[in-house]
């Protein structure tokens, strides 16, 4: 029995940080052994919001792919490809646009909120983002799209687009299901969401000494002005990272030591530094091998792109026939 297909993508932001790993990549690695996984670099999607910033885009694409591979995404189990190398996505996007009501796109909360903040985003490309996303999914007839709960509405738009197409033309496009996954929203060094924009990230391939320096500089509970002052771990950004990286015994030791002032903040941070460095060691080793042979990375993407193209062309041919364009 063929495995059900999963599709997911990431915008090319360059080298990834720990938030990307715990929020998505860790889940991709788990899914690839159970599903027919298609993972793609969403470089067209990046241009919907950063159309004026094309410098370094190619470097960002391949830096990100290296991190995927370093994290354990296996090109023998999953299909990896680049969106912009697949004009079939753009064609399906155009064909779906013929019957998709514009009101479906205008009602997206993310569109309205972001345009209200930045009028330069009032473009056709950004308005059409959810429809391009639908084309990305439907062209592979993906059964599942792994998302957190906050992203489920995007999958619902894709389901509506598929339902309308199937009603108007032919029952060709399966409605994908949101594969609600347990995602860890990793906090950054300052307690906010980890993000390059905030400057509070630890990169997946940061050197051990860089990791140690970043963690040691993290702010802590403001009540602990002096070493002997007791603190409250729940008021400390370091504690939030311990929820991901520390076992129950370590957390109990930190909690008791902080509240009693039995340990200092640097004592609290050391187990976190050690855990992150242990996690990163195999990533850096695999990444070093890939960076020493960039042609291998390009070849992996090339093979995956052609594998994806074979699937996409078959779907597109069926869509053309259904819409009366088989001439």
**β-sheet bridge partners, residue 7:** 38
CATH of the domain at 316: 3.40.50.620
Mean pLDDT, the chain, whole residue set: 93
pLDDT digits (tens, 9 = 90+) for 259-307: 999 999 999 999 999 999 999 999 999 999 999 999 999 999 999 999 9
Question: Sign of torsion, CA 216 217 221 227?
Answer: positive
Residues 65 and 158 in one domain: yes
* Numbered residues of the known binding site: 11-13, 19-20, 136, 148-150, 186
| Integer Cα distance of 265 and 253 in angstroms | 13
Shared-domain flag, residues 174 and 47: yes
Binding residues for ATP: 11-13, 19-20, 148-150, 186
88-108 pLDDT, tens digit per residue, is 999 999 999 999 999 998 888
Residue-number span of the structural domain to which 232 is assigned: 208-287
Same domain, 140 and 171: yes
Position of tokens 């242990």? 278
At residue 128, does pLDDT exceed 70? Answer: yes
Looking at residue 244, which CATH number applies to its domain? Answer: 1.10.240.10
3-state secondary structure of 178: strand
Q: Does residue 140 share a domain with residue 21?
A: yes
* pLDDT tens readout for residues 302-325: 999 999 999 999 999 999 999 999
Sole residue written with tokens 């930045």:
118
φ and ψ of 242, to 5 deg: -65, -25
pLDDT above 80 for 151? no
Q: Are 212 and 266 in contact (CB under 8 A)?
A: no
Mean pLDDT confidence for 144-150: 83
Determine the 3-state secondary structure of 12 from DSSP. coil
Q: Is the pTM of this model over 0.85?
A: yes
What's the confidence (pLDDT) of residue 113? Answer: 81
Task: Mark whether 278 and 307 lie in a shared domain.
Answer: no
Q: Which of 141, 145, 178 is nearest to 162 (CA)?
A: 141
Other Cβ atoms closer than 10 A to 283: 21
Task: Check whether residue 164 and residue 258 sit in a common domain.
Answer: no
Query: Which tens digits make up the pLDDT trace of 169-191?
Result: 999 999 999 987 766 678 999 98
For the record, the structure tokens of 194 come out as 């980890």
Together in a domain, 170 and 231: no
Q: Please give the span between the terminal C-alpha atoms of the chain, in angstroms, as a whole number.
A: 35
Which three-class secondary structure string do you get for 249-276? HHHHHHHHHHHHCCCCHHHHHHHHHHHH
Q: What is the separation of C-alpha 161 from the centre of its chain, rounded to a whole number of angstroms?
A: 23
146 shares its domain with 263: no
Q: Scanning the structure block, which residue is given the tokens 């347990």?
A: 182
The single residue listed with the structure tokens 């599903």 is 35
- Answer yes or no: is 34 within a domain: yes
Q: Do 94 and 232 have their domain in common?
A: no
Taking a C-beta distance cutoff of 8 angstroms, is the pair 130, 154 a contact? yes
Q: Which residues define the annotated binding site for L-tryptophan?
A: 136
Specify whether 257 is located in the same domain as 131: no
What is the number of structural domains in the chain?
2
> Averaged over 225-254, what is the pLDDT?
92
Say yes or no: 11 and 36 in one domain.
Answer: yes
Q: What is the pLDDT of residue 57?
A: 92
129-to-102, 108, 132, 138, 185 alpha-carbon distances in Å: 12, 10, 5, 14, 24
Res 144 pLDDT > 90? yes
- The first and second tokens of residue 201, run together, are 């990230």
**What integer is the mean pLDDT of 71-79?**
97
């Amino acid at each position: 029995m063929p495995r059900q297909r999963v599709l997911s993508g990431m915008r090319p932001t360059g080298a990834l940080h720990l938030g990307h790993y715990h929020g998505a990549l860790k889940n991709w690695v788990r899914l690839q052994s159970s599903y027919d996984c298609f993972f793609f670099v969403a470089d067209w999607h990046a241009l919907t919001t950063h159309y004026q910033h094309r410098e370094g885009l190619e470097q960002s694409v391949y830096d990100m792919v290296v991190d995927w591979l370093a994290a354990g995404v296996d090109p023998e189990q999953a299909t990896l490809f680049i969106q912009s190398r697949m004009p079939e996505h753009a064609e399906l996007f155009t064909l779906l646009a013929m019957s998709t009501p514009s009101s479906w796109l205008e009602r997206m909360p993310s569109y309205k909120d972001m345009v209200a903040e930045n009028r330069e985003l009032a473009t056709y490309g950004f308005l059409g983002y959810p429809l391009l996303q639908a084309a990305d999914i439907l062209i592979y007839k993906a059964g599942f799209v792994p998302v957190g709960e906050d992203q489920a509405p995007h999958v619902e738009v894709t389901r509506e687009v598929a339902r309308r197409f199937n009603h108007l033309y032919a029952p060709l496009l399966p409605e994908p299901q949101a594969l609600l996954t347990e995602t860890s929203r990793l906090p950054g060094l300052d307690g906010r969401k980890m993000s390059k924009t905030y400057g509070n990230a630890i990169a997946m391939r940061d050197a051990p000494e860089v990791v140690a320096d970043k963690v040691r500089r993290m702010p802590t509970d403001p009540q602990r002005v002096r070493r002997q002052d007791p603190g409250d771990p729940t008021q400390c950004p370091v504690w939030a990272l311990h929820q991901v990286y520390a076992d129950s015994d370590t957390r109990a030791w930190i909690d008791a030591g902080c509240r009693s002032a039995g340990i200092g903040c640097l004592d609290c941070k050391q187990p976190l530094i050690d855990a992150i460095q242990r996690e990163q060691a195999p990533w850096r080793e695999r990444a070093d091998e890939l960076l020493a042979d960039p042609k291998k990375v390009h070849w992996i993407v090339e093979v995956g792109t052609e594998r994806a193209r074979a699937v996409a062309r078959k779907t597109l041919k069926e869509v053309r026939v259904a819409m009366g364009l088989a001439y």
